[in-house]
């Protein structure tokens, strides 16, 4: 039985992970801690688990793993505290807001002998898993280029505070695609060019659109758009699409297209009702297994570090107005 606790509900994905932990057999959500006690108590009541107000007491409890969903800039401190307490860790993406913090987190967990995972749930979308397997089988031959998107709506709140978020849409939505590219192609990103800015919601304090170009090992060229350009009523946090151009053809994949479009006149909004994968469920299932088996989660802290390196390089490129090396 993997006993899990959640540290902070600042990030909306915490609710997906909590619901997944409650659903999975052999997994028990046993405690919640939050540096915002009102938010933490509300989540604890919602999921029917104890709220532990003191962080040290939370980490001294019998949880085997901690899922960290705080504001991005607080990840390092929470990861280090959990590692020192001997807990396995699943940290929300981006792993950190700086490369230095991400490296320190990976090293801290290595020294403590605990597993560190990065929350990259897109790895558990069947369409992406299928394309990854087909690429590995050689079905498409050499990969030449890809065009990717991750567009969603503005989350609001601390996401607009660069001191807490580390950046805007480029920070929030690029890391998912970077991880997928590395995971699917088995190659590293070597160079980044980025133009970004506050183009839609003026004055929010962070960029809401990023247009990026990557160069990968083997000469693969990638374009990517990361944005908060969707309306508030957009059905999900992102769209995550990829069109891959290869030696033997072109493949298009839409990670979240396993759904029915519903037009709800009661709520006066369009909605997506999913019939396929629950990516959060796959992510939490793997993390719980890692806790039980005392192994690294499938998407490691190192994977999170590599995504941070590319994203930080993107901001450097946007400031310098030139391509930079990762």
**φ/ψ of residue 260, rounded to 5:** -110, 135
Residue 164: pLDDT band (50, 70, 90) is: very high
Instruction: Tell me the chain's radius of gyration from C-alpha atoms.
Output: 19
Could you tell me the CA-to-CA distances from 113 to 78, 161, 274 in Å, in that order? 16, 34, 38
C-alpha span between 6 and 108 (Å, rounded): 20
Phi-psi region of 203 (alpha: psi -120 to 50; beta: other; left: phi over 0): left
Model pLDDT, residue 263: 85
Residues 255 and 284 in one domain: no
Model pLDDT, residue 234: 77
Weakest-pLDDT range from 19-33, 250-264, 307-321: 250-264
Model pLDDT, residue 236: 73
Q: CB neighbours of 77 closer than 8 A, spacing ≥ 6?
A: none
Residues 80 and 143 in one domain: no
Model pLDDT, residue 68: 98
What does the mean pLDDT of the chain come to? 95
CATH code, domain with 39: 3.40.50.720
Domains in the chain: how many in total?
A: 2
Whether cis (ω within 30° of 0) applies to the bond prior to 94 is yes
Model pLDDT, residue 277: 84
Residues 295 and 320 in one domain: no
Residue carrying the six token digits 């980025």: 194
Task: Give residue 73's domain range.
Answer: 2-122+280-299
Q: Is the pLDDT of residue 214 over 90?
A: yes
Helix/strand number for the chain, H first, E second: 10, 14
Percent of the chain whose pLDDT exceeds 90:
87
pLDDT one-digit tens code per residue, 85-113? 999 999 999 999 999 999 999 999 999 99
Residues 22 and 67 in one domain: yes
pLDDT one-digit tens code per residue, 225-250? 999 998 877 777 778 999 999 999 99
Residues 81 and 213 in one domain: no
Residues 151 and 243 in one domain: yes
- Residue range 206-235: mean pLDDT, rounded: 93
Q: CB neighbours of 113 closer than 8 A, spacing ≥ 6?
A: 86
Model pLDDT, residue 98: 98
CATH code, domain with 258: 3.30.360.10
Nearest to 87 by CA among 64, 71, 106: 64
Could you tell me the CA-to-CA distances from 156 to 12, 254, 303 in Å, in that order? 11, 25, 27
Residues 60 and 111 in one domain: yes
Model pLDDT, residue 305: 98
Sign of the C-alpha dihedral, residues 296, 301, 302, 306?
A: positive
C-alpha span between 198 and 6 (Å, rounded): 32
User: Is 0.75 topped by the overall pTM?
Assistant: yes
Give me 221's structure tokens.
């060229």
C-alpha torsion 246→309→198→91, nearest 10 = 100
* SS3 of residue 280 by DSSP: helix
Q: What angle do CA 200, 201, 206 make, to 5 degrees?
A: 105
E strand intervals along the chain = 2-7, 27-33, 65-68, 88-92, 116-119, 143-153, 189-197, 209-216, 221-230, 241-246, 249-254, 259-264, 269-274, 324-325
Residues 243 and 284 in one domain: no
C-alpha span between 159 and 113 (Å, rounded): 32
Residues 166 and 178 in one domain: yes
Model pLDDT, residue 231: 81
Residues 38 and 152 in one domain: no
Residues 90 and 181 in one domain: no
Residue 319: pLDDT band (50, 70, 90) is: very high
Give me 267's structure tokens.
């709520």
Nearest to 159 by CA among 147, 172, 150: 172
8 Å CB contact between 63 and 287: no
pLDDT one-digit tens code per residue, 191-200? 999 999 998 8
**How many CB atoms sit inside 10 A of residue 62's CB?**
9
Residues 177 and 319 in one domain: yes
């Amino acid at each position: 039985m993997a006993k899990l606790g959640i540290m902070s509900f600042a990030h909306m994905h915490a609710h997906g992970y909590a619901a997944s932990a409650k659903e999975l057999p052999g997994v028990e959500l046993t405690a919640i801690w939050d540096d915002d006690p009102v938010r933490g108590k509300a989540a604890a009541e919602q999921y029917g688990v104890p709220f532990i107000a003191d962080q040290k007491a939370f980490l001294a409890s019998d949880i085997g793993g901690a899922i960290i969903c705080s504001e991005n800039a607080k990840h390092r401190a929470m990861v280090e505290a959990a590692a020192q307490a001997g807990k396995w860790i699943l940290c929300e993406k981006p792993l950190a807001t700086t490369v230095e913090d991400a490296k320190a987190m990976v090293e801290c967990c290595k020294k403590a002998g605990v597993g560190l995972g990065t929350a990259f749930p897109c790895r558990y979308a069947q369409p992406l898993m299928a394309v990854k397997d087909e690429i590995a089988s050689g079905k498409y031959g050499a990969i030449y280029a890809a065009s990717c998107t991750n567009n969603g709506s503005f989350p609001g709140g601390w996401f607009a505070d660069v001191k807490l978020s580390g950046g805007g849409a480029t920070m929030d939505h690029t890391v998912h695609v970077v991880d997928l590219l590395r995971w699917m192609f088995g190659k590293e990103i070597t160079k980044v060019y980025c133009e970004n800015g506050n183009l839609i919601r003026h004055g929010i304090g962070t960029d809401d659109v990023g247009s990026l170009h990557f160069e990968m090992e083997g000469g693969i060229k990638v374009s990517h758009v990361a944005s908060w350009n969707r309306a508030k009523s957009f059905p999900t946090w992102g769209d995550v699409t990829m069109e891959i151009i290869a030696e033997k053809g072109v493949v298009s994949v839409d990670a979240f297209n396993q759904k029915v479009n519903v037009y709800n006149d009661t709520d006066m909004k369009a909605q997506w009702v999913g019939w396929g994968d629950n990516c959060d469920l796959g992510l939490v299932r793997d993390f719980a297994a890692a806790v039980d088996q005392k192994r690294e989660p499938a998407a490691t802290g190192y994977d999170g570090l590599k995504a941070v390196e590319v994203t930080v390089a993107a901001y450097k490129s946007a400031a310098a107005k030139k391509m930079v090396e990762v």
